[in-house]
Amino acid sequence: MYKKLLVPTDGSQLSNQTIGSAIAFAREIGAAITFFYAAPDILATGDGAGLRSIAPTLLSETIAGDAHPVLLKAEAAARAAGVPHASLFKVSDRPHEAIVQAAEEQGCDLIFMASRGPKSIGGLLLGSETLKVLMHAKVPVLVSSVMRNSLTPDMNKALAIIQDEHRSLAAVLHAMRHLRDRAIEQSAPLDFQVFEQLLYYIREFPQKLHHPKENAYLFTLLRKRTHAIDDTLAALEAEHADESLLDQLFAALRKYQAEGSTQEGAFAAALDRFIGAQWQHMSLEEQVVLPAAQVHLLAQDWQEIAHAFGKNGDPRFGAEPDAEFRKLFAKLARMTSQLKPDASA
Ligand SMILES: [Fe+2]
Ligand SMILES: [Fe+2]
């Protein structure tokens, strides 16, 4: 059976869904995953060459592009499922070549990837990159699903957005814990500046975007269709409104910053309590609410949710705040990720 899957991802809705399928598959067969991202080669452009001489730091950030946020979210999903994982990105304008090469170099025995039209082989609609990988790969390629054939594109879209938001929250929680553990291990002071930015994201993003969407659409529509999980929804809504653990974490951080290592233990405990509660909350949503929604919501409900969560949907949490938080998450991902582009491409 397969031991190590290469899962290419580009941050699109389709590849976000594929990540979920790949993780479920890897868990089932006891395999590990290497997530892979091919970043476009901007050095090949005039802008890239100019940036190299004027602003090398900005150049490396630009090269990394979406690699860090996309890969950190994929890792967060694998971590939550207990699947061993690693990430890799290469700079390449020929993603299929980079994918085939990465699978070989990483010793992967299966490439697990998504596909979408318009080309066709044996009745399957395949994207051009998937076709090229199929033609050149030296290991088997599993093409997971074909989005255009889906009977429930709105449901898929809505679920992909909610799960993607959970992954970004999980990635930030992991980064917070990692920063704290590294400081304790190295007996070094915590990087307060980075930690505060992570904390800012954790306070603002759920409050302004994620929780209001869940309350206003997902929970409200679910209550209309079933009373089977009313208690769970009420508990989750109460947790959305309750910031006491976050306030305690802020207070513990301030004390730690002011009084130093004597407060390290109290801060560490406050962080563990906060992260534990967040995990419990998201697990309940993923394991109870989303499955119930898939059973009880109607096509028109998913249409409403997908529209509201999409770019030009409900103006309260449409394109602008969404873009703002995406930018902030990408910045945090770059700041906290240890990943560097693989130079062997
Ligand atoms: Fe929630
Ligand atoms: Fe949630």
CA–centroid distance, residue 279 to ligand 2 (Å): 10
Does the fold of domain 153-336 match that of domain 4-149?
no
* Nearest ligand to the C-alpha atom of residue 219: 1
CA–centroid distance, residue 230 to ligand 2 (Å): 16
Which residues are within 8 A (CB) of 225 and not within 5 positions of it... i.e. 6 or more apart? 296, 297, 298, 301
pLDDT of the chain along its 345 residues, tens only? Answer: 899 999 998 888 788 888 988 999 999 999 999 999 988 776 666 665 665 666 556 556 666 667 888 899 999 999 999 999 999 988 888 888 999 999 999 999 999 987 764 444 444 445 677 888 888 889 999 887 654 445 578 898 888 888 888 999 999 999 999 989 988 888 888 889 889 999 999 988 888 888 988 999 999 999 999 999 999 999 999 999 999 999 999 999 999 999 988 898 999 999 999 999 999 999 999 999 999 999 999 999 999 998 887 765 566 665 566 777 888 888 888 877 766 666 554
Give CA–CA dist 315/332, Å, rounded.
Answer: 25
For residue 344, which phi and psi values (nearest 5 degrees)? -80, -5
State the burial class of residue 47 (Cβ atoms within 10 Å of its Cβ: 0-12, 13-18, 19+): exposed
Helix (H, G, I), strand (E, B) or coil at 137: coil
CA–centroid distance, residue 79 to ligand 1 (Å): 19
pLDDT at position 214? 92
pLDDT at position 61? 63
Q: Which of 49, 69, 68, 67 is nearest to 59 (CA)?
A: 49
What is the crossing angle of helices 264-284 and 153-185, to 10°?
Answer: 170
* Nearest ligand to the C-alpha atom of residue 286: 2
Could you tell me how many residues make up the chain?
A: 345
Cα dihedral 256, 262, 265, 269 sign = negative
CA–centroid distance, residue 278 to ligand 1 (Å): 9
CA–centroid distance, residue 322 to ligand 1 (Å): 17
What is the CATH code for 153-336?
Answer: 1.20.120.520
Helix (H, G, I), strand (E, B) or coil at 110: strand
CA–centroid distance, residue 225 to ligand 1 (Å): 19
The H or E element spanning position 36 is: strand 32-39
Domain ranges of the chain: 4-149, 153-336
Give CA–CA dist 317/49, Å, rounded.
Answer: 37
pLDDT at position 11? 82
pLDDT at position 120? 42
Q: Which CATH superfamily is domain 4-149 in?
A: HUPs (3.40.50.620)
Q: Calculate ∠ Cα 328-157-79, nearest 5°.
A: 60
CA–centroid distance, residue 162 to ligand 2 (Å): 7
